Structure 1
Amino acid sequence: MSKGYSVPEGHSGPEGHSGASPGRRRRRLVTRFAAAGVAAAAAAPLLVGCSSGYDAGVINVYAAADGFDFVKQQAQTCTDESGGRYRIQANVLPKSADDQRLQLARRLAGNDHTMDLMAMDVVWTAEFANAGWMVPVPDDLAAEVEKDNLEGPVETAMWKGPNDSEKRLYAVPMWTNTQLLWYRPDLMKDKLGSSKAPKTWDELLADTQAIREAGGPSQIMVQAKQYEGLMVWFNSLLTSAGGTVLDPDDPSKVTLNDTPEHRAATLKALQVMRAVATAPGRDPSITQSDEGTARLGMETGVAAFELNWPFVWASARTNGATGDVAFLKDPLAPYAELLTNEDNPPTDAQLAPINKTMQKYFNFAPYPGVYPDKPARSAIGGLNLAVASTSRQQELAFEAGKCLTSEEAQTMYAVSGGTPPTIASIYNDKAFKLAYPMGDEIRKALDDAGATRPASPQYQAISTLVTATLAPVDSWDPETMVDKLAEQVQRAIDGEGIIP
């Protein structure tokens, strides 16, 4: 996953995802996305053989169900602006990242010439590049992308394939994602006498217990069920503690326990997970928690703190305006009509006072650190746009892809869908700052390169075994788990015990 994210699973946009748009439109979009995802997932097993033909000038882009409407909207804009050079046809992929990967892989293995552009989860780059399924980005476009985009998102699209002399760009960042700490300043002020956000996990746990003892909500909302969200949580903690799953310069080398320093980092990450999972007043369903349950926990008032992707901001704003978030109902009542008018959504300038009001009751802060003297590293999610090697129109596909990932496109994805842009200049735009108040925090996290998940052609196997070993998160001893995890990652690299 990339995750991440929109409701309810997330690493794409992870890992990534669409978030929510203003007003009642958001509810219809979520319903439509879910229905499309179910239909596409049901159809995936039928894609054993794919069409070998293609229509000249028609560029097919395949994108996940989450955020699909915004991709489709931009596809039409690009088509209109192409002067007849191409027409972009948007095709929906399933909601689940695993199902997206499976459908793309089946089409590629079937030599489907109708597939031109693929919206790729950021963790798939190495696997698809090594398989020869992606076309490297042309040098002139690659130079432009590397100059204009933030370091973290660009790094997720880089790989050194079997035939490459050095690392190169295999996809163009479309949107990115990173997690923040979301918290209740009003609740903290009432129960603790201070609304200062905790900076470390130890402080977060201590503040939560103090709020609990004062009669407030006691749950910390995270993503801990057996899926990519659990890998995201573990990897963010591990990287924040100074460790890594694999050697960045040698993806065949496991670094969870190879040195005393690496072992200590892995142990500390696991100790934090264990502390959250077993804390007094913890989320009773933590072993089944994902992005959606974390959002709901915060909005229903059972939590003062939530670790999640930026989609939760638009969700809280919309649901607060409709009265579904109790602690935001009265503050947002003056703006309810404006926020729920789907035919005339608020402008950036109109959102500014709404966002400032929101921040008094629902605010954001940097991802918590593991140690006070070490910077926190939050997972990088999002989507990269790649040209399929099976495409018969690769040059035209890159031209269309450039439009789908342009500054105008990424601004629309961010403001309408909640997914952070990868182009650095967007974060300096005054109008964007009004509509997207958490932009500065997100940019800082991405400028620092964030917690990139291990780059490996075997990433899917690594994630599968790590999450299977860590679940359920409240049932193991951190000391013994260090070596067990290292063993499972080595098995993944060696290709043992994994169903393709």
Structure 2
Amino acid sequence: MLAVTLAAGCAAAGDEGGGGSGTGGTGPITFATGRDTTAYLQPLLDRWNQAHPAEKVTLLELPEAADEQRAQMVANLQARSSRYDVLGLDVILTAEFAENGWIIPLERGLFPLDRFLPPVVETALYKGKLWAVPYTSNAGLLYYRTDLVDKPPRTWAELRDQAREITKKHDIGGYAGQFLAYEGLTVNFSEAVQSAGGEIVSRDGGEVTLDPATGGTALDFLIQGVREGWIPKESLNYKEEESRLAFQEGRLAFARNWPHAYGPAKAELGDKVAVTRLPGLNGPGSSTLGGANLAVSAFSKHQQTAQEFIRYFTSLENERRVLTEGSFPPVWTELYDDPELIERFPYLPVLKESILTAKARPVSANYNQLSLVIASSVAKVLGDPTPESADDVAASMKSELEEIIRTQ
């Protein structure tokens, strides 16, 4: 992965053509995005295809994991291939793809950005230009079993005490997140640092701001959970789907996951499932802002159709379907205040608060390298805790991150 990043092209972010055929092309397009685990996408695409028989869209499903999606997209774009027209990008990829000339800037006036959640819009901007359009948002939530938990925890100490008690009494796992060494672990650790009052890298990606003591506190929270057994060791191999299944199958009392896990959990557990904000060191914590943006490949031969498709796909009507049929958080603010939707999706008020208090990941063309260092450092200490202190691990991580930023 590191080699892929280092081999990235050097086209400037100001090169609006990017090597493609311009924005005037119309015709059939492809939509490359992560695997559709809820089978909601194709019906939405069918609606477009019925109305645009000469400009049909074909779904190209990429792997589920965000870093694997990125690897396939980068390989395609470095080859200047026109295979992908519309790209479903993790929100962290805007800066990298724009800086390398792999996507084209879009006209802000074509999209109702003022009606979107403000933090979400920020993820689509880079150097003053709009490079993508927000499609889904995301913030981590704490899922819990209402039949096992009287009052959801607001702090790490409360989570630890409840998880330990439930593990001992009911012989099930206490708590899990996404702890495999991939982007999900970077997110989970970032949330722990944020929820302890710190941050890892400045928002503009130009400075490592991790305080080793705060980072050590965040690491200790996870390390102690594994050592004490209320974080099950098998969760060190969990990505989103594994943690979702473990919770909805009754193997966990608490789980950190994205909102898409709510529907399946509700179907399996009924009223036994609820969600709240992530806990923090001294009170409610802070999630990492997630989600997906839609961008147009600089090498697409049908860029005009691609942009029109994005307008369709991010419309208010379609965003409602993204929620009701896919269980993914929409980007239109008004949908979070819709009484009918709240009745159907009771977590919407909590999710809106979580998104508005979430922190975006650094805007950096080298974000992938930063993430690799974070995930590998945390995975190593969780999988094989050593006498080395958590503060020392955090200090070492900080040094590695500073080296990446110095050389960018």
TM-score (norm 1): 0.71
Report how far residue 282 of structure 1 moved: 3.5
Contact 1:59 1:400 in 2 (8 A): no
Superposed CA offset, 1:260-284 (max 9, x none)? xx34332221221222222244413
Aligned equivalents of 2:37, 2:25: Cα separation in 1? 26
C-alpha distance 134-68 of structure 1, shift in aligned 2 (>3 A)? farther
**Separation of aligned partners in 2, 1:128 and 1:413:** 25
Residue equivalent to 2:376: 468
Q: Distance in 2 between matches of 1:87 and 1:93?
A: 19
What are the superposed Cα offsets for residues 314-366 of structure 1, whole Å, 9 maximum, x if unpaired? 22233x2xxxxxxx4xxxxxxxxxxxxxxxxxxxxxxxxxxxxx33x111111
**What is the alpha-carbon distance in structure 1 between the residues aligned to residue 188 and residue 378 of structure 2?**
11
Superposed, 1:278-427 pairs within 5 Å as: 278-318=227-267, 320=268, 328=269, 358-359=270-271, 361-372=272-283, 375-427=284-336
Q: 1:182 aligns with which of 137, 143, 151?
A: 143
TM alignment of 1:36-185, pairs within 5 A:
56-67=26-37, 69-81=39-51, 86-141=55-110, 144-145=112-113, 147-160=114-127, 167-185=128-146
For 2:97 and 2:230, how far apart are their aligned partners in 1?
43
CA distance in 2 between counterparts of 1:209 and 1:111 reads 53
- Identify if the C-alpha distance between structure 1 residues 303 and 429 changes in structure 2 by more than 3 Å, giving closer, same or farther: same
Comparing 475-484 with 294-303, which one deviates more in the overlay? 294-303
Q: 1:217 to 1:87 in 2, by over 3 A?
A: closer
2:208 to 238, 241, 254: 254
> 1:277 is paired with a residue of what secondary structure?
helix
Q: Residue 254 of structure 1 aligns to a residue in which SS? A: coil
Q: For 1:471, what is the secondary structure of its paired residue?
A: helix
Contact between 1:277 and 1:286, CA under 8 Å: does it hold in 2?
Answer: no
Percent identical pairs in the alignment equals 28
The answer to whether the 8 A contact 1:226-1:467 is kept is yes
Unaligned runs of 5+ in 2: 1-19
Inter-CA distance 56–238: structure 2 relative to 1 (3 Å threshold): same
Paired residue for 2:221? 272
Question: What is the distance in 2 between the residues matched to 1:302 and 1:68?
Answer: 22
- Can you list the C-alpha shifts for 1:446-498, whole angstroms capped at 9, x where unaligned? 122x13222211111111121111113151421211211112212333569xx
Report the 3-state secondary structure (helix = DSSP H, G, I; strand = E; otherwise coil) of the residue aligned with 1:219.
strand
Structure 1: how far apart are the matches of 2:69 and 2:38? 13
Q: Equivalents in 1 of 2:100, 2:165: separation in Å? A: 52
Indicate if the aligned counterparts of 1:465 and 1:492 stay in contact, CA closer than 8 A: no
**Structure 1 residue 439: Cα displacement:** 1.0
> What are the ranges of 5 or more consecutive residues in structure 1 without an aligned counterpart?
1-50, 161-166, 189-194, 257-261, 321-327, 329-357
Deviations 1:266-312 (A, max 9, x none): 22212212222222444132322332332233234332111112232
Q: What is the rounded CA distance, in whole Å, between the counterparts of 1:99 and 1:492 in structure 2? A: 21
- Report deviation, 1:418: 1.7
Would the aligned equivalents of 2:26 and 2:304 in 1 still touch at CA under 8 Å? no
Distance 2:90 2:394 in 1: 28
In the alignment, does 2:156 pair up with 1:207?
Answer: no
2 CA distance for matches of 1:368 and 1:317? Answer: 21
- Select which of 346, 359, 364 maps to 1:456: 364
Between the aligned partners of 1:67 and 1:406, the Cα distance in structure 2 is 22
Partners of 2:174 and 2:252 within 8 A in 1: yes
Kept after mapping to 2: 8 A contact 1:199/1:368: yes
Match of 1:439 among 344, 348, 371: 348
**Count of aligned residue pairs for this structure pair:** 383
SS at match of 1:135: coil
Partner of 1:481: 393
Helix, strand or coil for the counterpart of 2:147? helix
* Letter paired with 2:28: V
TM-score (norm: length of structure 2): 0.86
Q: Quick one: which amino acid aligns to residue 479 of structure 1?
A: D
Distance 2:61 2:243 in 1: 26
Q: Deviation of residue 136 (structure 1)?
A: 1.5
* CA-CA distance at 1:216 after TM superposition: 5.4
**Residues 1:235 and 1:294: Cα distance change in structure 2 (over 3 Å):** same
Match of 2:255, SS state, is: strand
Amino acid at match of 2:342: K
Q: CA RMSD in A?
A: 2.5
CA deviations on 1:100-142 (whole Å, 9 max, x unpaired) are: 2222222222222353211111111111011011112203135
Alpha-carbon distance between aligned partners in 1 of 2:402 and 2:294, rounded to the nearest angstrom: 30
